[in-house]
Amino acid sequence: QACDGGEAGDAAVLLLDRFQGNIPTRDAYGSYLSSDGTCYVDILKSIGMIENEEEEEVSSTSSSSSSMVQITNWVVIPYRDDVAMKHALLKKGPLSVAFNVVDESLYYANGVLDVQSCSKNEAVDLDHAINVVGWGVDTLDDGTEAQHWILRNSWSTLWGDSGYFRVRMGERDCGVTTSAGFPEVKVVVSKKKTTGLEEESSGISRES
């Protein structure tokens, strides 16, 4: 449902139910277009995610591991919990969040977005799916310090601070901690020989 009510967690559950959690890589499927559309069925067929028109399911024999990653679960971060969010960021990397796109955020260029309108942060206020990638500390006009979230947007690198922006942590976070989560990703371990010795290496990043 994209920006008309779609949620990352619901999408993950659908992928788990329909495709055993398999997701095409960007190289195999193509990059994000920031527009409504339908799935590229021909690409999904070519990498083994769809066997035929009548029965859309993963082919366990024909799927290409180099063209897909596999999620095994979707983890929901506790509602409005800054500490839980920080812990998940440290352990899992970038997280999926929903955001309330207030008017002030449309024209963001730099600094920390810290506006009263961002206090509207309930689930019904959220209308944009992005990633939180970290947090930081900044100094306010009165000399005190405050924390902020660092987010990666999807409006190209021409928007904001090269595609990123910062928003005040706490009540004015525009919903960053309202509906956050991350996928658990199956890690493929391969063995490769280096100078006669076998060495294990992980083939899939944990980045969400």
pLDDT digits (tens, 9 = 90+) for 13-41: 999 999 999 999 999 999 888 788 888 99
Query: Six-digit token pair at 46?
Result: 């070519």
pLDDT at 64 over 90: no
Instruction: Provide the pLDDT confidence category of residue 53 given band limits of 50, 70 and 90.
Output: low
Q: CA 19 → CA 60, 66, 129, 193, distances in Å?
A: 10, 16, 22, 33
Q: What pLDDT shows up at residue 198?
A: 43
Q: Whole-angstrom Cα distance, residue 70 to residue 204? A: 9
Map tokens 């859309």 to a residue: 56
Mean pLDDT of the chain: 87
Give the CB-side neighbour count of residue 8, counting CA atoms within 13 A.
24
pLDDT at 190 over 70: no
Give tens-digit pLDDT for 117-143: 999 999 999 999 999 999 999 999 999
- Give the list of residues 6+ apart from residue 95 with CB closer than 8 angstroms, or none: 77, 85, 88, 89, 131, 132, 180, 181, 182, 208
pLDDT (average), residues 86-92: 97
Q: Whole-angstrom Cα distance, residue 50 to residue 32? A: 20
pLDDT (average), residues 55-79: 75
Q: What pLDDT shows up at residue 54?
A: 53
Instruction: Provide the pLDDT confidence category of residue 61 given band limits of 50, 70 and 90.
Output: very low
